[in-house]
Amino acid sequence: MTTGDVRGLIRDRARFLGFEVCGFASAADPWPAGARLESFVAEGHHGTMAWMAETLDRRRHPTAMWPDARSAIVLGLNYGPDSDPLSGLERPSNGLISAYARGDDYHDLIKGRLKQLASWSKARLGGDVKVFVDTAPLLEKPLAQRAGLGWQGKHTNLVSRQLGNWLFLGSVLTSAAIEPDPAETDHCGVCRACLDICPTGAFPAPYRLDARRCISYLTIEHAGPVDPEFRSALGNRIYGCDDCLAVCPWNKFAQGAQESALQARADLVEPSLASLADLDEAGFARMFRKNPVRRIGLQRFLRNVLYALGNSRDPSLASAVEGRLTDASPLVRGAAVWALSRLAPDRISALRRSLTASEQDADVLAEWDLAAA
């Protein structure tokens, strides 16, 4: 069997498993991606994601993680939204969840299919195989560019000429030799739409991201209170941000997700912020069952919801906030104070006097002082 036959059979199997795109790259050749990651961490742009620094050596190159890796099969699964993800910004009393998180958790879906493809490929090529989704220490976007699936745009995300910005990635590394595909080249040109739309200025330069200013990082990865500098810019985004992805001109070729599990669930498309603020642990678990939002936990989610309520500028929503002033979590209480200072600033002093000493620990007191300023 020729190399071309092998690659054609793998692509056919990948399509059978639901992947829209499949490419091949060397996993052993040198590349500059490791040096770029090292600079990212050295500049502190990874924020509180300590695991990026802790796994830096393994992330530098595929063979740093697995020395026997020779080839990579890189897969893409389309999750294109069926409407403009930014239109919900016009309805500030409703929460915006990033397009990728409105259906089932893609990690579980993709990993199962990658294992199927890996087993199938191993039976035909021999060698050892390992599968990776984005929770593993593998630089998947540079690998996808090498495999011809797209290129890393100025927003640092992968852009596909066929599917725009909406691709989940997964990889199968193998010790077998497979002829690589031509790498994709950069097609951003002079466009800077993704850089200019960022509400928090998270791009210090094209192709560079400072995660500490990124709304996706702030609402998902960051565990504590969001710096007051960025709270207004969050708007009604309660989990992730699609701004830089949604404005890319290459989305003119994008398609809606074909995989039913990745299509948006009705209850996750612009849910009412007031109803979300009333969630308890059981309700949160039910609403986000099999969904990636669940991994940030109720407290962090309520923090995001309360910031969004404050940004709604709708005084009628103040009652949805007040109930969280006595929440067991200082993180939630602090966010409630900030939200109330935006919705009902004339009531701040009276409400503060009504709270017990145990509800005013140091962190929350700082929020009250900020609210009164």
Residues forming the active site: 134
- Residue 372 CB neighbours (<10 A): 12
Contacts of 194 (CB under 8 A, 6+ apart): 153, 154, 155, 203, 243, 244, 245, 247, 248
What is residue 174's DSSP assignment?
A: E
| Cα distances (angstroms) measured from residue 337 to each of 75, 227, 300, 303 | 45, 14, 15, 11
Which among 307, 298, 363 has a CA at the least distance from the CA of 330? Answer: 363
For 53, half-sphere exposure in the C-beta direction (CA atoms, 13 angstrom radius) is 10
State phi, psi for 18 to the nearest 5 degrees: 105, 0
Query: What sign for the dihedral angle of Cα 121, 122, 125, 131?
Result: positive
For 172, half-sphere exposure in the C-beta direction (CA atoms, 13 angstrom radius) is 31
Encoding tokens for residue 136? 């593993």
8 vs 27: CA distance, rounded Å = 19
Which among 321, 323, 70, 33 has a CA at the least distance from the CA of 172? Answer: 70
Q: SS3 string of 124-146?
A: HHCCCEEEECCCCCCCHHHHHHH
Q: Are 308 and 234 in contact (CB under 8 A)?
A: yes
What is residue 181's DSSP assignment?
A: P
